[in-house]
Amino acid sequence: MADGTRPEERAEARRLARLGALAVGFVFLARAVVFLYRAHPQDDAYILFGYVRRFVAGEGIVFHAGGPPAEGATDFLWFALLSVLHRAGLDIAVAAALANAAGGALLGGLIAGAIARSLAPGPARSMLCLLLAPAAFAGGAVAAAVGFGSLLYSAVVAWTFVAAIAALEGDERATLRLPFAGLVLGLIRPDGVVLGAGFAVIGACAAARRPLVGPFAGRALAALAIGAAYFAWRWSYFGLPLPLPLYVKGHAADELAGASAIAGWFSHASGAWPLGAGLVAVLVLGGRAARTATLALAATPLLAHIAALAFARQSQNIAFRFEAPEQAVLLVLLVLASAAAIEGARAPVVRTLVVLVAVAAVVPGVLIGIRQLRYYEGTRTYVDVFGPRLGAILAPEDRVALGDQAGRIPYWSRARMFDLVGLNTRRTALAPPDAAYLAEIDPDLFLLYTGPSTFDLEKPLASAKEDVVPLALPELAGSVRPDQRDLYEHGIARYEGSAVPDSACNVIAAKYLVDSGAYDLYAVRYTGSFKHLYAIRRGHPRGAAILAALRESLAPESYRSYARIVGLPFARD
């Protein structure tokens, strides 16, 4: 707030900031809960929910009941927060919506606070409040509504970014907060280590400008010690220095495996370019460059984060959730620049142009975000209802090998689960499966992904009228794509070249099924074509029940929302 403002003006600004926070938090929460009454969380969100469920049940951090410790849930503080809320009695998906709503409130408070503290005229400030909409409907909010922790995470990043700006402008309290803020970012998500380290460096630079080196160093060492203790604990508990998904995503076909996803985020209408273009236009209209250098310096950790993401295979990048921190910071930058430009503009026409440009910059993301969430509500798959049905059939001693759906299937079951991709199973995270490993775990049930990049089941099943079709062993063997034939015949000792876990493990498992001859195979329509293959051990005592549940789950009238399945209040078929 500018010097000389009256106490009542400061109180009014705080009141408006609280209103903005409450509005965003409430709107997001309502939309996320409505989603649960219409559809199901995404599969990767179910993976973490499963870890929460088993941990709260006293089974440890494991992929299946009685299994070894497994770090497939990489977002530690997100996992811990959901565990606390679930232990308190909340349904896990509802707890995720509530925690993300808190993140939305934090982001909404930052935006509304920046607008309220400006000296811009009242009508212009009121119009700028439209910039609150993306916090509830766009960017990380979309992925958050389908179960991920992206809104909370990106809001904490935005809060730390604002603290970094304040530190560079001389705020001592903000400077001393940065080491622990960086620690929190690293504990929320693994890639948060890059952001946390970057913001800690900014804090160190700010501390060096004034007599804060000693206090800052003490806090930095304390944060580093906590982080090192956590790292030592998790290495000891899980037996590996890194989470399993980092090994899997490191088996990339290209050195810059994430570059295309980042390029897509930059060029998409719901991504970076509308906010970036709006920010540049507002800066030009404002004509004030005094703060630009500070804002650019505070944003350098985001650039390092984007560079790091370029080397990671960004699978399940729902609504650009991996770039959500950058999206949130771009929004905050647009708000800060717009408020400053309006405050400094003398001509009403300039203030009007600034408001129009800023609002126009967020409209594409909001509209696309609303449409994306409707799309995810409409993408109802049979696995949503088959998972609970299968869980009720399987016994604890049953063994299931998964080349797909490592979230929706294990979440509902107490059977022993093995993730062939490796996101949740140590053996396959480090190396591809082979016949010896598959014989060792001796699954009773396989679920494989037979998508068009590896198999062509549409050709042998072109005349099939049913959604669940028996498949002969020669038909499976003959459906392997020519470019996958060598992998199918000989397997691989390690991932390299074009072989990545998501596809290669399914090809290798298909060869095992054909060679073993001990399973009945069924091709299943998934999202419009035969992309799923189930293999049930011949003579399995629950095989007939599994097949019946599979067929029932594919009937459109059998669909049940998440709310209906778990019995949330007022849920109906």
**Each residue's pLDDT tens digit, 61-116:** 999 999 999 999 889 999 999 999 999 999 999 999 999 999 999 999 999 999 98
Please choose, from the candidates 41, 15, 119, the residue with its C-alpha nearest in 3D space to the C-alpha of residue 380: 41
Q: Which of 393, 405, 537, 547 is nearest to 470 (CA)?
A: 547
Average pLDDT score over residue span 411-419: 97
Look over the chain and give the mean of its residue pLDDT values, rounded to a whole number.
93
β-bridge pairing 399-402 and 445-449 = parallel
Residues 296-330 pLDDT 10s: 999 999 999 999 999 888 778 899 999 999 999 99
pLDDT of amino acid 573: 64
| Residues whose CB falls within 8 Å of the CB of residue 554, separated by 6 or more in sequence, listed in order | 382, 467, 468, 524, 525
**Phi, then psi, of 531 in degrees rounded to 5:** -100, -5
pLDDT number for residue 1: 39
pLDDT of residue 289: 57
pLDDT for the residue 290: 55
Examine the pLDDT at 158 and tell me if it is beyond 80: yes
What whole-number distance in Å separates Cα of residue 563 and Cα of residue 561?
5
Q: How confident is the model at residue 255 (pLDDT cuts 50, 70, 90)?
A: low
Q: pLDDT for 29-51, tens place per residue?
A: 999 999 999 999 999 999 999 99
Note the pLDDT of residue 63.
Answer: 97
Whether residue 257 has pLDDT greater than 80: no
Residue 410 has pLDDT above 60, yes or no: yes
CA angle, corner 268, sides to 371 and 341, nearest 5?
95
Question: What band does 2 get if pLDDT is binned at 50, 70 and 90?
Answer: very low
Q: In the chain, what is the straight-line distance between the N-terminal and C-terminal CA atoms, in Å?
A: 52
Tell me the residue type at 103: G
Statement: residue 432 has pLDDT above 90: yes
Q: Is 483 a residue whose pLDDT tops 80?
A: yes
Q: What is the pLDDT of residue 485?
A: 96
State pLDDT tens for residues 341-381.
888 877 889 889 999 999 999 999 999 999 999 999 998 99
**What are the distances in angstroms from CA 109 to CA 1, 106, 335, 509?**
15, 5, 12, 50
Confirm whether pTM is higher than 0.75.
yes
**pLDDT given for residue 358 in this prediction:** 96
Rounded to whole angstroms, the maximal C-alpha distance in the chain is 83
